[in-house]
């Protein structure tokens, strides 16, 4: 009886191992397919390195790209900050113009009274 239970248990372990192996094979196929699909990018970067004297290897290209992305982000932030400052300056200018227009109007009224 015990031998039969051990045999059944081993058979179940074998079945689980086979299922796991099949799942791993499927995952391997999927990943291999993705590697193949994305290999065109590696080939492209290798071609860039070949034709461009400023890059010695693919990592140089990637580093340059990351630098450009950071620079673009910094410029966008700076541009946004400048835009906000211009809006604030316009509000202040509008207030100043309104104050001066009121002063001019007051001076004209005083001048009319004096005449």
Output the pLDDT for position 107: 96
Output the pLDDT for position 85: 98
Contact 49, 60 (CB under 8 A): yes
Output the pLDDT for position 46: 94
Q: pLDDT of 4-60, one tens digit each?
A: 787 788 889 999 999 999 999 999 999 999 999 999 999 999 999 999 999 999 999
Cα(22)–Cα(38) distance, integer angstroms: 24
Mean pLDDT (whole number) for 93-103: 97
Contact 61, 48 (CB under 8 A): yes
Mean pLDDT of the chain: 94
């Amino acid at each position: 009886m015990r031998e039969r239970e051990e045999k059944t248990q081993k058979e179940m372990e074998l079945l689980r191992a086979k299922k796991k192996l099949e799942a791993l094979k499927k995952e391997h196929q999927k990943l291999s397919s993705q590697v193949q699909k994305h290999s065109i990018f590696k080939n492209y970067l290798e071609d860039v390195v070949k034709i461009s004297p400023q890059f010695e290897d693919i990592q140089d290209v990637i580093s340059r790209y990351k630098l450009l992305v950071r620079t673009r982000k910094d410029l966008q932030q700076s541009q946004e900050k400048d835009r906000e400052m211009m809006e604030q300056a316009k509000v202040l200018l509008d207030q100043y113009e309104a104050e001066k227009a009121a002063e001019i109007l007051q001076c004209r009224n005083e001048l009319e009274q004096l005449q």
